[in-house]
Structure 1
Amino acid sequence: MSYPPGDDGQQGHPHQPGQYPPPGGQPQQGGYPPPGNPQHGGYPPSGNPQQGGYPQQGGYPQQGGYPPPGYPQQGGYPPPGYPQQGYPQQGGYPAPGAGAPLQDPLVAADFGDWWGKVIAVLRRSWQPLLIIQLATALPALIVGAIIALVVAAGGGVALAVVGGLLSAIIVVAVALLAQGASVYVVTRQAAEQPVGAGEALSFAASRALPLLGWGVLAGILTFIGFLLLVLPGLYLLVVFAASLTGVIMFEKAGIGRTFELVNREFWPTAGKLITAFIAAGIYSWIIQTIVGLFANAGTALYSILVNILTLPVSLASAGVAVVTYATLRNRENAQVGTPILVHELQN
């Protein structure tokens, strides 16, 4: 039996004697593999080789190959809430200028989304926030009321001054402690991590000195600003209310960082905070009016009732602080979101 000639004019040598290659250049065992199904030593189809080449369609990369677009390399994505060094890898938050990640529970895309995220914080975290307020702010207010009663009983001018300063220091210190603990709770629960009020208060106590120090300095500067034609005071009030607690808790930075963070988004930030202040003022006025029907203004009973019934304002202030700060950080660097903030808290 004769064989078809090869390219050199000699007789060909198919792998199985007595058989011609099947049509289409697909011989049997030992020959060339059929298209799309390479055998040992054969050439794989373009763009889909086997071991050592590119991955199969829809699959994961083979040993030594390259991953398909959108799949991270080894050591890529960190687990939720625990990012690796730096910011999330490919496929995380949008690149700078691409807009806010709407799925992030703490980063707002616009004014309406900002209010939505603040309300979501209240729905998600109101229980531990209430415990924090009851464990800190309420006792401080009671102590302040007792000091006021002692002064009113006729302790003299000197005692009145000392008592007023002591009461103010206690209230400010405890309020800052409660704010720091509230920021911790809001951030951890936004990342769906379990956290209790005791853990949050312990964490805030570890930052008590910078919280108190920078908080007192911010209060003094704001007071001086109001004395200087009011407008400087309003400006400082917006800057510190929007970012001071966040800068201290997350970045462990000082008061100078607040200006850098807020100035680039000052007017949108001011608009959000003004609406929050107005809403809080209206609510407090309604509460004071109702309580005034049952207790005389200026009495200890009036003060205690008003402070208890206005606790929702304090709870909401934690959401305002965290959502505003997270949004400012995201505007500065669009890869910053809740996972990064949790990572900064824990390190």
Structure 2
Amino acid sequence: MDVRSQQDPLVSGSIGEWLAAAGAAVRRSLVPLVLIQLAVFVPVAVIVGLLGGLGAFGDAEALAPDYGFGYVLQTESLTVRLISVVLGTLGLAASVFVIVRDAAGRAWTPGEAFGFAGRRFLPLIGWILLSSVLTVVGYVLLILPGIYLTVVFGGALLGVVTIERGGLGRTFRLVNPRFLGVLGRLLLLAVLSFVYSLVAAAVSALPGLLVGGDAPAVVGALLMNLLTIPLVVFTTAALVVLYGELRSRLEPGTGTATFADELDRR
């Protein structure tokens, strides 16, 4: 067992330790992480519900990118999509702040968490969009470059942008030495997410199956989004711990205390 993983809550060794550290991060910060996701979800749900009452519901397309926030209430309104992306990215950045500060045992206030998120969400949106474009181009060209970029950006971009205030180039330095390990962790995370999503979809379909009609369908959509919150919370924690592992491997001696110090930089 890696000694570092026993001493640092955000630095893991094996895949088992990674999952355990992610679970511990969720338990440590569960209440604020759920409240952050509710702060993202509720305003969008209300707006979409109002638009839905005016006939604005569209076909099934996710409101936000699948990068730490993947709520599935549907609308063709560009305004609502933009609002969901902004709020989702704010929630993602605030969640990273909370996970790191709690792991470091440092007190924080909601104002500090959302103040940090307010300073980081625009760069986060920009880098996520750029990485998404590059990844899509990689898949279109030869597929393998797309897979490679998915692993590199998926494994490190969140931590690099929020904690280090870095860009895409830094992700290659972190992931390349541990590429296969990152690939395995992301594949496992994808499988767990898929299985959980199937169960959540089955549960959310129950109102429509039992009652039928439009109202149960809306209730089912709301339920599906609420059930998505635990998955978003765990995924965010898992990505933060993965970043911590990559960072400590590349730069021995860095860990949770280092990340917390970097978050405090203006």
Q: Shorter-normalised TM-score: what interval? A: 0.7 to 0.9
Q: CA RMSD in A?
A: 2.5
Query: Partner residue of 2:61?
Result: none
Distance 1:193 1:291, change over 3 A: same
Q: CA deviation at 1:139?
A: 2.1
Helix, strand or coil for the counterpart of 2:6? coil
Query: Partner residue of 2:225?
Result: 307
Q: Which amino acid aligns with 2:249?
A: R
Q: CA deviation at 1:233?
A: 2.9
Query: For the residues of structure 1 that align with 2:222 and 2:229, how far apart are their CA atoms?
Result: 11
Identity of aligned residues (%): 37
Query: For the residues of structure 1 that align with 2:137 and 2:51, how far apart are their CA atoms?
Result: 27
TM-score, scaled to structure 2:
0.82
Match of 2:255 among 327, 332, 337: 337
Q: Which runs of 5+ in 2 are unaligned?
A: 59-74
Query: Partner residue of 1:273?
Result: 186
Q: CA deviation at 1:228?
A: 3.5
Q: CA deviation at 1:270?
A: 1.2
Query: Partner residue of 2:95?
Result: 182
Residues 1:290 and 2:203 aligned together: yes
Measured against aligned partners, the alpha-carbon deviations of 1:71-92 in whole angstroms (never above 9, x if no partner) come to xxxxxxxxxxxxxxxxxxxxxx
Query: For the residues of structure 1 that align with 2:25 and 2:57, how far apart are their CA atoms?
Result: 43
Indicate the structure (1 or 2) with the bigger Cα radius of gyration: 1
Distance 1:136 1:224, change over 3 A: same
Distance 1:220 1:339, change over 3 A: same
5 Å matches for 1:192-341? 192-295=105-208, 299-341=217-259
Q: How many residues align?
A: 243
Q: Which amino acid aligns with 2:248?
A: N
Q: Which amino acid aligns with 1:312?
A: P
Residues 1:115 and 2:19 aligned together: yes
Query: For the residues of structure 2 that align with 1:146 and 1:255, how far apart are their CA atoms?
Result: 38
Q: CA deviation at 1:109?
A: 1.5
Query: Partner residue of 2:40?
Result: 136
Measured against aligned partners, the alpha-carbon deviations of 1:106-152 in whole angstroms (never above 9, x if no partner) come to 00011111111001011101011011111123323443455466464
5 Å matches for 1:44-83? none
Q: CA deviation at 1:273?
A: 1.4
- Of 257-266 and 164-173, deviating more is 164-173
Q: Which amino acid aligns with 2:39?
A: A
Query: For the residues of structure 1 that align with 2:96 and 2:17, how far apart are their CA atoms?
Result: 19
Residues 1:124 and 2:28 aligned together: yes
Measured against aligned partners, the alpha-carbon deviations of 1:16-38 in whole angstroms (never above 9, x if no partner) come to xxxxxxxxxxxxxxxxxxxxxxx
Match of 1:173 among 86, 90, 94: 86
The structure richer in helix per residue is 2
Aligned residues of 1:100 and 1:107 also touching (Cα < 8 A): yes
Q: CA deviation at 1:173?
A: 2.3
TM-score, scaled to structure 1:
0.64
Aligned residues of 1:148 and 1:164 also touching (Cα < 8 A): no
Q: CA deviation at 1:240?
A: 1.9
Q: Which amino acid aligns with 1:166?
A: T
Distance 1:218 1:169, change over 3 A: farther
Q: CA deviation at 1:102?
A: 2.3
